[in-house]
Structure 1
């Protein structure tokens, strides 16, 4: 627990550095004044607001070492998160914002007849994922290069989409989540794992946290409702949404 402040400042440094590393994309949707509002950017935001929330700066591929830090499992209790998902062997799971694949490769062994679609918008992260796949000799992980507004998932193709500390950084949250929702099979779920904004003791800057109330408001805008909020993790919500 005494290491958390150090990691906290490391995260803030990476987030600020990473913002300039976000890859440009083509054919991005035009912002609608009825969906997004532009304003002055705070230190940790991009000056773009959705449902009253300023979108946070994105973590770039320079944060790879932080994502793979040895103490991550104990600090974030990713073992408890894996249990909370109750994965079935046949599930097809989209890991949105998969990064280096830290959690992708924890899920893969559970999906003996299914697979993980590891989605990221940065080619550098896709390289990390392919390298990890080869190193582990895993055959049920499929890296997918998406864009800021489209995860490039086929309609009705996934049982679950999981977003770990990623949603609050989406430049086009409305478009991304609409695409992800359309990719769900009947009965499919979207899982948002986010640091608890309701808890001032969670040592993460405010724009990199998300409350259950805010998340529910934003998911309702695309026709999703909160099915369950699981608070078994030390600092993060596990929020399950469905149609």
Structure 2
């Protein structure tokens, strides 16, 4: 087996194993987000539930996150790990273009189906299939990159993030939203979470600048913002 194939398969194997353990803990808790396995291979029903879940709106507070993203006028936004398009469709109302990136074709098919339902205003959404360890952005394509509940599932970050920088325009902004560690009613087990300070340290080594951590605005999550030099 080639080294490249091993690199691609290993993260998926680890995610699958982790999902089984977490599923046993969460079967009877409807307030938690999907298991790790579900995040990678969502069903049509789960995608629909995710995008319409009012409880997620309460703890995710998408309006606050959109406020942190800032002015979207004439901006191209890459939504990495777009899933059901929970943020994709919200961003599309103001941005010039949204690239919905996901490793699962079912998720992108769902976004396409929702585009047909909501109408012409969502024509600025481009669903784009991507390998797990490749951002799949053209050089300097995105003004803004949003990564929600996905950072820890990105394999080979030392390779991925320099490529991500290449896909961002000079001065482009990165927003990462993910779960805090601890006993909280949403999100994966702690073993699948990364401390905000570790993310900040990694981004600094990856040549991002103006890195800021906000651990107060959201009850269960932190928000990290950074810029490309």
TM-score range, shorter chain: 0.7 to 0.9
Q: Deviations over 1:181-217 (max 9, x none)?
A: 11110100111101123xx243342133322211012
Question: Take 2:224 and 2:193, find their aligned partners in 1: how far apart are those partners?
Answer: 13
**Alignment length (residue pairs):** 198
Question: Take 1:123 and 1:83, find their aligned partners in 2: how far apart are those partners?
Answer: 29
TM-score, normalised relative to structure 2: 0.76
From the superposition, tell whether residues 126 and 155 of structure 1 become closer, same or farther in structure 2 (CA, over 3 Å). same
Q: Is the 8 A contact 1:227 1:241 kept in 2?
A: yes
Which residue of 127, 140, 156 maps to 2:124?
Answer: 140
> Could you list the runs of 5+ residues in structure 1 that have no partner in the other structure?
1-25, 47-55
The match for 1:13 is none
Question: Take 1:118 and 1:224, find their aligned partners in 2: how far apart are those partners?
Answer: 22
The match for 2:204 is 220
Q: Is the 8 A contact 2:15 2:36 kept in 1?
A: no
- Structure 1 runs of 4+ with >6 Å offset: 40-43
The match for 1:7 is none
CA RMSD of aligned residues (A): 2.8
CA drift of 1:142 comes to 0.7
Question: Take 1:93 and 1:151, find their aligned partners in 2: how far apart are those partners?
Answer: 13
From the superposition, tell whether residues 28 and 131 of structure 1 become closer, same or farther in structure 2 (CA, over 3 Å). farther
Q: Does 1:202 align with 2:187?
A: no
Q: Deviations over 1:15-35 (max 9, x none)?
A: xxxxxxxxxxx994776xxxx
Q: Is the 8 A contact 2:78 2:145 kept in 1?
A: yes
Which residue of 3, 7, 18 maps to 1:44?
Answer: 18
Q: Is the 8 A contact 2:16 2:36 kept in 1?
A: no
The match for 1:80 is 64
Q: Which structure has greater helix proportion?
A: 2
Q: Which structure has greater strand proportion?
A: 1
The match for 1:156 is 140
From the superposition, tell whether residues 125 and 222 of structure 1 become closer, same or farther in structure 2 (CA, over 3 Å). same
Q: Is the 8 A contact 1:216 1:226 kept in 2?
A: no
TM-score, normalised relative to structure 1: 0.72
